[in-house]
Structure 1
Amino acid sequence: MTAAVALTACGGGSTSTSGGAAAGSGPVEGGDLTIARAADILAMDKTTTFDNNSIYVMQQIMEPLFTVSADGTEVTPLLATDYTVSDDKLTYTIKLRQGVKFSTGAPMTAEDVKFSIDENTKTGADGWGFINAAIDTVEATDDSTVTITLKYAWAPLLADLALFSNGVIPADYGGKTVEEFYEAPVGTGPFLWNEWKKGQYLKLTKNPDYWGETGPYLDSVTWTVVPDANTRKLQVQGGQVDVDEFPDWSSFESLKTAPGVTATAFPSTRIDYVAFNQQKTPFEDVRVRRAISYAIDRESMVKTVLYGNGQAADSLLSPGTPFYAANPEAPQLDLDKAKAELAQSSQPNGFATSILINAGDPNQASVSQIMQAQLKEIGIDLEIKTLDPTAVKQARNAGDFDMIISGWTMDIPDPDQWTSFAVDPEGGSHSAYTYYDNPDVIALNKQAQTETDDAKRADLYEQLQAQVAEDSFAAYLYYSPYAYAMSTKVQGFQVTPLGNYPLAGVYKTS
């Protein structure tokens, strides 16, 4: 099992503090938590949904066999209690935790685990099935034991079993169709599905029979859809919401000093980047992509967009992700090189194109405006198109864009999740929606998946990062922490380097 350096998984953030609770007082039962966010969820099918807003909700309901430590460095048992590995590294025997029940009251068994993993595997390139590509069979050896047999040695297996897509649900969807089940999903987690008003809010309620030792303390959690960042800021300051998810950096400093509000930048594994849609002319031309990559002033973006809260990106992997390799050769601001690349491209006289951004997102607006000015200097006219954040995700999924500002956050402490998603067309998203397809890079990625020696894996990932930067399949922008603002009444709220926030231990004071 390869441990991640704190960035990709659960970990490392500071807990919010409150002026409302006496020092040393214990958790408070009851209360309702409201989290304001820019975009709605897209779906609850854990096997085919790639949207973080959806993922952060489903993680409160459906739990996997393993989880990641709070600092993001290691995989630890959750619904499993122990495991053994055969000498040839092909067979994993996993013991299940006793006494765990689904929120329906039915006991969780090995048959449920087998069904859940198999359902994820069979999605293949159309979902998160690529994560399970090495799995040959899953057997329910007895009610409390699962045996997983691999086709070949697979370094990320335990980390992959900690991914939400392998979360455990009732076998045969509890007698429902897959569509019916995910309209109101059932799991073993601390919260239950309650209500979803699309485009407005989603509500979960407490699971009173949760098996875990901690919580849940809250009666309910509601995510409200508030696309405008300034409105979210005013709501958390005014007490209409408890948590502002991702306030813009321009208001982050003022939120730090706002009465009754705690603003925290949690350590992250996030990378922001511009995705080029290689289905659209002229982005199939590597020299066009390089020209744009060389024309971007990342240091200026860190200063003016992040207000210094981050660093310029130089690699596909973020610095806290295992096997990150600093790459000084990756494109950075150099207008002479940008002009030279464009001159040798299919568009030597420049061209017009567009970039799609979220309406009401000051960060993306600033990035796109900086890019618009910089690209003009090399002969590219950039139109900025805005849509509601939910509509942007739908357009991204449909490939209906020229360029789009996007971001990635790791979910497990192994780079394979992101590299397979980003550079392998069969990785569930057509290479992070870019439609990038380089057989040499794909081969490097597959070698890294099956290599169990860390030093050799590091070398393979270094080669991969260098080649992907050379191809400029995307223009890396910056690495940044996760910004959150919350009421000082909120206790125990912690965001892991993987971006998710377990809510079982969160409570509110009066």
Structure 2
Amino acid sequence: MKKKKFWSLGVMLILVLSTILAACGASDNKDSGSKDASTGGDTASSSGKTELVYGRGGDSVALDPAVVTDGESFTVTANLYETLVNFGEQDVTINPGLAKSWEPSEDGLTYTFQLQEGVKFHDGTDFNAEAVVKNFERWKAGGEKHPYYSTQFVVGDTQVIESVTAEGDNTVVFKLSQPQAPFLKNLAMSPFAIASPTAFEANEEGLSTNPVGTGPFKFVDWKRTASITIEKNPDYYIDGLPKLEKVIYRSIPENSARLTALNAGEIDVADGLSPSDKTSIESNDKLQLIERPSMNVGYLGLTATRAPFDNVKVRQAVNHAIDKQTLVDAFYEGLAQPAKNPMPPVISGYNDDIPGYEYDPEKAKALLAEAGYDGKEIELWAMPVPRPYMPDGQKIAEAIQKNLADVGMPSKIVSYEWATYLDKAEKGEADAFLLGWTGDNGDADNFIYALLDGDNIGSNNYTFYDNQELHKLLVAAQTEIDEEKRNALYKQAQEIVFADAPWVPLAHSTPILAAGAELQNYIAHPTGSDRLDAVYFK
């Protein structure tokens, strides 16, 4: 949830047609796929420091990217594993990864990838075409264990990826059952990083606590709720990377405690900081402020299968009851804008003509009366960890609690440890819950279909909302290559979501991080998964 500041509209308007053309046109010169290891110039640290301590708000759920959906897990796995294709340093353009080139067919049903040679997994086994095949077979067979695979590559009962075939050691051919507009962008997502088949065939469950990828860093140990340590992969195939010897991810739940630890030199990077800290960071010459390009939405989910939110008028009433502008002013301090749609304005296909639900307590009271709401107390779930789209879940929940009380809806705030929170919400156990989403690939499909389509109940659709008219539009949009027609479908989809009100979209934020001034080449990615291979200390 993610799973994420504003990009240039030019970049964000790129859809798969332009991506395919770029891939075709550039495949001749994508002969290595290697990053420029010289980035940052002379990287010798004057202090001799080669260990980075990364402070974050919560622990990972698991270290097998195929089985998780939370950003804290991907924060770590992005440096242990790699995908076939990569996003750009600060955008979602498609670049080489474990595949150095690719060629789509004219009908968009076949993709042929040429793989990097000489790459090894951390367990010493070879990365090759057969390893890619086995990973996709594993995800396809895993069902609910691999939620992202079903979200991105299964539409109803249709498997989008019909087959994956190895042609020799270094060529992989994907055959699709239907065109998929965001196919390459999907492949670049963190959940589709390639793991060692030797590792998961021996102990698939063990991959969650003993990850084995091809990335620039290797797993060392995990002290639950405290720290995860990774170290330099000496056999990494890109010369000169990584520049750090070790990275330690420390869990420090309190925002202020993370900033205090950074000021004391106990950590080198502090993620998930409160927007209110921006001024103090900018005024401290020993620190640097890092803004993450915005590609997220924070929301209040209303579980549509639980009373009273099984009544659309109650859901609409709650939308009118919440004062979003005050929430943004109080908790985001100018680093967010109120949301009205389930995806941010930077995503192509955003419908700006939707008016949004204005803050109107009297209208909310009238709708509750029309719905026959009996005044029964609801549970309001507050996120236990800060995330880019939700800097302080408890305080935001308290503000929402007051808004609801003002219209006659009493609520009790509850919370759980992060992994438990996600698990219980996924099972539909919440009445109303705070959550959010950082876009994985910059495509509208990754917001509306992933989060609100009936196909994804039990994975990323925690509201259990299911509208068949919406489903038909989203399926059509997935296979539509014409950009204008595709955008029109997503705009229609947002009108349906607006009317049905399964969420209260709250805010699109610009998350901030801070780091010591000596840290170089830290690039915050819109997806929230930051690569640390080129980071170093001056």
On whether the aligned pair clears a TM of 0.5, the verdict is yes
1:51 to 43, 66, 70: 70
2:503 is the alignment partner of 1:474: yes
2:376 to 342, 351, 370: 351
Deviation by residue 1:460-498 (Cα, 9 ceiling, x = unmatched): 100111111111111000100121111112211111111
Q: 1:161 to 1:401 in 2, by over 3 A?
A: same
Residue equivalent to 2:266: 240
Kept in 2, the 8 Å contact 1:6–1:71? The answer is no
Kept in 2, the 8 Å contact 1:423–1:437? The answer is yes
1:254 aligns to what SS in structure 2?
Answer: helix
Displacement, 1:267?
1.4
Counterparts of residues 311-322 of structure 1 (less than 5 Å): 311-322=337-348
Kept in 1, the 8 Å contact 2:121–2:127? The answer is yes
Displacement, 1:205?
0.7
Q: Which moved more, 1:453-462 or 1:482-491?
A: 482-491
Q: Which moved more, 1:179-188 or 1:135-144?
A: 179-188
2:166 to 140, 150, 165: 140
Displacement, 1:334?
2.1
Residue equivalent to 1:196: 222
Displacement, 1:5?
0.8
Kept in 1, the 8 Å contact 2:441–2:527? The answer is yes
2:350 aligns to what SS in structure 1?
Answer: coil
1:121 aligns to what SS in structure 2?
Answer: helix
Residue equivalent to 2:28: none
Query: Which runs of no fewer than 5 residues in structure 2 stay unpaired?
Result: 1-8, 16-39, 155-159
Q: CA RMSD in A?
A: 2.3
Equivalent pairs, count: 493
Counterparts of residues 319-330 of structure 1 (less than 5 Å): 319-330=345-356
Amino acid at match of 2:12: V
Amino acid at match of 1:410: G
1:225 to 251, 266, 290: 251
- State the alpha-carbon separation in 2 of the partners of residues 451 and 3 from structure 1: 20
2:275 is the alignment partner of 1:249: yes
Residue equivalent to 1:5: 12
Kept in 2, the 8 Å contact 1:205–1:220? The answer is yes
Counterparts of residues 444-459 of structure 1 (less than 5 Å): 444-459=473-488
1:432 aligns to what SS in structure 2?
Answer: coil
Q: 1:27 to 1:435 in 2, by over 3 A?
A: farther
Amino acid at match of 1:132: F
- The two structures have a TM-score, normalised by structure 2, of 0.87
2:518 is the alignment partner of 1:489: yes
Residue equivalent to 1:128: 148
- State the alpha-carbon separation in 2 of the partners of residues 173 and 3 from structure 1: 41
2:413 aligns to what SS in structure 1?
Answer: strand
Deviation by residue 1:391-416 (Cα, 9 ceiling, x = unmatched): 43343334332211111001113222
2:410 aligns to what SS in structure 1?
Answer: strand
What's the % identity of the aligned pairs? 27
Displacement, 1:355?
1.2
- State the alpha-carbon separation in 1 of the partners of residues 166 and 359 from structure 2: 55
2:399 is the alignment partner of 1:370: yes
Q: 1:270 to 1:174 in 2, by over 3 A?
A: closer
Residue equivalent to 2:122: 103
Displacement, 1:429?
3.9
2:26 is the alignment partner of 1:26: no
Displacement, 1:245?
1.1
Q: 1:431 to 1:285 in 2, by over 3 A?
A: farther
Kept in 2, the 8 Å contact 1:42–1:390? The answer is yes
1:262 to 288, 298, 305: 288
Q: 1:174 to 1:457 in 2, by over 3 A?
A: same
Residue equivalent to 2:332: 306
Q: Which runs of 4+ in 1 moved over 6 A?
A: none
Query: Which runs of no fewer than 5 residues in structure 1 stay unpaired?
Result: 9-22
Q: 1:228 to 1:390 in 2, by over 3 A?
A: farther
